[in-house]
Amino acid sequence: MFIHNKRLQYTVRVAQPNPGLANLLLEQFGGAQGELAAAGRYFTQALAEDDPGRKDLLMDIATEELSHLEIVGSIIVMLNKGAKGRLAEGVEEEGALYRSINGAGNDSHITSILYGAGAPLTNSAGVPWSAAYIDTIGEPTADFRSNIAAEARAKIVYERLMNVTDDPGVKEALGFLMTREIAHQLSFEKALHSIQPNFPQGKLPGMPEFTNKYFNMSGEPNVRGPWNEGEEWEYVEHPTAAVDGGDGSASVMLSAEELQVVEAMRLRTQSNPASDPITGADLGSGVVNDLDK
């Protein structure tokens, strides 16, 4: 059950309208790293979670992400207040109105014109929100790592948004949201490592002959570090094909009937390397006409 509290989790104080900044903030409203994506990710994970502690954690953070969605949406609407009125009432000449909502080269007119200067579920380019942003796979040792990365990406986007505004109230609210991304990362880290073992993900172990082998697949220079050197690693400087000891080819076992059909198709579609047919490219280049002369 959800009950809406009409007061925001954090007070929004916007100094003055700024449609361009509002448009940028849509990344955290309906974008891939935004609050709706986070809420959907953790909510769906919580529904499927059998561990009571992780279920409670996921539901708490999913609900908080919805409150963050409300904060971001409220900032967007406040930043768009002036543009919303001017658009609705047409109080300026067409060119001046366009320039006023377009800001300093920002494409805020896309969301202003299409969505009435509100807070649509799109990113800053006007691309609609998609459930494809939710990358849950149903295995907590994998999902919690993904959650940590998602919170890290969201923190970076908030940092970038803070860097493009001098509005103290907006910057402060974004700083709160950025800080909560840090707190969520810490919770997810603790939850992940309360599962022991949690690596490798899932139940099946890796093939031991390949688990700690590092292949130098990009040639010189061979940069070495803790990711590919030390007692843990077997470094293969010059990897060859068919590391399994086979011949490196692909094969399949077919029945006699299937083999006959495949062979018939091969014969029907085989190329004649001795032929040199006239093609559309020849005709279009005028080569054939030149030969006729």
> What span, in angstroms and rounded, lies between the C-alpha atoms of 121 and 73?
9
Axis-axis angle for helices 168-193, 140-163 (nearest 10): 160
Q: Is residue 170 part of a domain?
A: yes
Q: Is residue 9 part of a domain?
A: no
For the whole model, what pTM was predicted? Answer: 0.83
Q: Is residue 8 part of a domain?
A: no
95 falls in which pLDDT band (50, 70, 90)?
Answer: very low
> What span, in angstroms and rounded, lies between the C-alpha atoms of 194 and 62?
20
Residue ranges making up the domain that contains 177: 19-193
Nearest to 103 by CA among 72, 82, 129, 123: 82
pLDDT, the chain, mean: 89
Q: Is residue 199 part of a domain?
A: no
Least reliable range by pLDDT among 69-73, 100-104, 160-164: 100-104
Q: For residue 95, what is the domain's CATH number?
A: 1.20.1260.10
> What span, in angstroms and rounded, lies between the C-alpha atoms of 28 and 26?
5
Nearest to 60 by CA among 73, 71, 72, 49: 49
Nearest to 65 by CA among 162, 155, 152, 180: 180
Predicted confidence at residue 105, as pLDDT, reads 46
Number of compact structural domains in the chain: 1
Residue 33: other Cβ atoms inside 10 A: 20
Per-residue pLDDT tens over the stretch 105-149? 455 556 665 566 789 999 988 899 999 999 999 999 999 999 999
> What span, in angstroms and rounded, lies between the C-alpha atoms of 73 and 256?
64
Q: Among all chains, which residue has been given the structure tokens 């006007």?
A: 126
Q: Is residue 225 part of a domain?
A: no
Per-residue pLDDT tens over the stretch 56-86? 999 999 999 999 999 999 999 999 886 655 5
> What span, in angstroms and rounded, lies between the C-alpha atoms of 30 and 42?
16
Least reliable range by pLDDT among 18-27, 92-101, 177-186: 92-101
Find out whether 176 and 13 touch, Cβ atoms under 8 Å: no
Q: Is residue 235 part of a domain?
A: no
Cα–Cα distances (Å) from 218 to 190, 209, 210, 238, 239, in that order, read 36, 21, 18, 10, 10
Residue 153: other Cβ atoms inside 10 A: 14
Predicted confidence at residue 40, as pLDDT, reads 97
Find out whether 116 and 84 touch, Cβ atoms under 8 Å: yes
- Three-class DSSP labels, the chain: CCCCCCCCCCCCCCCCCCHHHHHHHCHHHHCCCCHHHHHHHHHHHHHHCCCHHHHHHHHHHHHHHHHHHHHHHHHHHHHCHHHHHHHHHCCCCHHHHHHHHHCCCCCHHHHHHHHCCCCCCECCCCCECCHHHCCCCCCHHHHHHHHHHHHHHHHHHHHHHHHCCCCHHHHHHHHHHHHHHHHHHHHHHHHHHCCCCCCCCCCCCCCHHHHCEEECCCCCCCCCCCCCCCCCCEEECCCCCCCCCCCCCCCCCCCHHHHHHHHHHHHHHCCCCCCCCCCHHHHHHCHHHHHHC
Q: Is residue 154 part of a domain?
A: yes
Per-residue pLDDT tens over the stretch 36-50? 999 999 999 999 999
Cross-strand partners of 215: 236
Q: Is residue 40 part of a domain?
A: yes
Per-residue pLDDT tens over the stretch 233-286? 999 999 999 999 999 999 999 999 999 999 999 999 999 999 999 999 988 887
